[in-house]
Amino acid sequence: MIQDTMPEQQQNLDTQQATLVSSQLFEQCMLLKSRSQMDEAIKVISEAITIRPDYYEAYILRGEILLEIDHQKALSDLNKAIELNPQFPQGYYHRSIYHLKQKDFNSALKDCDSSIQSNPKFSLAYVRKGITLICLHHQEEALKCYYKALEIDNKCWQAYNNRGALFTDMKKNTLALMDYNKSIELNPNGDLAYNNRGILYKDTGKFDLSLSDFNKAIQLNQNCNLAYFNRGLLYLKVGKLEQSLNDFDKAIALDKNNPLFYLTRGALLQKMGKNQQGFHDIKKALELNSGNTQNKENQQKIQSHQIQEPQRSSQGCCCQIY
């Protein structure tokens, strides 16, 4: 009898040991991720998956990291996590990011709904759904999602930031400012909330406050391309063309695939009399986003030196939302 139970006891011990070790590796991966040591983080979490192949949270974490590195591998991990546990909301939540990056907004919306169905109290799923609805040009429905997120969690700083961005688009500046202030109060290290409030200050003529916010955003995150881009727009507005150009250069160095950055710098270069360089930027922008009617309209405006600030959009060229 004792001999019969020994293999089962050993198997239980092995399972417990695998769970313990893989959980420790998960925590180590989280620490590495927080330090932006992504290559090491992937190695560590991959080891956890090898030890425990049914560890769906580990697949989600690796997928989340891979979303910034390899979209297809990220999708594979997130699909696997959902296969292992279709009731876990985080799998759908993170897969919606993949769909947003691919501009497959309907699939992103479906994943947001699946995440909410799995956990109706998951506030960030409503935030993500709000972003997706903005991409689909359903502002009022997006606004309802942000209110719902805050009903669930009144300290959800992401929802305050996003609702503020939406209020800015809707020209409800007082409400937008209140939301940005609340987002910053709850998360003082949120660079994009400072970026967004800086835009609001710029649009309302409070240039000193605007510059202070853009500087703060860059101080918090030196890779915040939007803060450089928007500070460049501010410098352009007050006639500091060289400083504006420097900031547009920095924004493009951080994001070489944003057509709006090239269009705006191209306009500035032509205004400064650097027509050949400006034409090169315009051509690059149209190559990056060929077939886009708005860009063709922008090109005509640029050629007549009518520099237009970009419209805030879900793509985040001017007022990025989380």
pLDDT digits 0-9 by tens, 70-106: 999 999 999 999 999 999 999 999 999 999 989 999 9
- What is the 3-state secondary structure of 64-113? HHHCCCCHHHHHHHHHHHHHHCCCCHHHHHHHHHHHHHCCCHHHHHHHHH
User: Which are the contacts of 122, defined by CB distance < 8 A and separation ≥ 6?
Assistant: 89, 93, 115, 116, 152
Q: Using 50, 70 and 90 to split pLDDT, how confident is the model at 304? A: very low
Domain ranges of the chain: 44-120, 121-187
In the predicted model, what is the mean pLDDT of the chain?
88
Residue 285, CB-side half-sphere exposure with 13 Å CA sphere = 25
Q: Which two tokens stand for residue 168?
A: 């800015």
Q: Which CATH homologous superfamily contains domain 44-120?
A: Tetratricopeptide repeat domain (1.25.40.10)
- Rounded distance, CA 201 to CA 234, Å? 10
206 dihedral zone (left: phi>0; alpha: psi -120 to 50; beta): beta
Indicate if 121-187 has the same CATH topology as 44-120.
yes
Percent of the chain with pLDDT over 90: 80
| pLDDT surpassing 60 at residue 13 | no
- Rounded distance, CA 74 to CA 38, Å? 13
| Amino acid 303: pLDDT | 45
- Closest by CA to 192, choosing from 221, 156, 150, is 221
| Amino acid 163: pLDDT | 95
Q: How would DSSP label each residue in 157-190?
A: HHHHHHHHHHHHHTT-HHHHHHHHHHHHHH-TT-
| Amino acid 314: pLDDT | 35
- Rounded distance, CA 166 to CA 149, Å? 14
Give the residue carrying structure tokens 């209110």. Answer: 147
Q: Which two tokens stand for residue 313?
A: 């959009």
Q: Using 50, 70 and 90 to split pLDDT, how confident is the model at 18? A: confident
| Amino acid 162: pLDDT | 95
pTM tops 0.75, yes or no = yes
Q: Which of 51-55, 178-182, 212-216, 298-302 has the lowest mean pLDDT?
A: 298-302
Q: Average pLDDT of 163-169?
A: 94
| pLDDT surpassing 70 at residue 1 | no
Q: Average pLDDT of 142-148?
A: 97
Q: Which CATH homologous superfamily contains domain 121-187?
A: Tetratricopeptide repeat domain (1.25.40.10)
CA-CA-CA-CA dihedral for 195, 197, 198, 203, to nearest 10: 130
Q: Using 50, 70 and 90 to split pLDDT, how confident is the model at 271? A: very high
Q: Determine the residue type at 143.
A: L
φ, ψ dihedrals at 155, nearest 5°: -110, 20
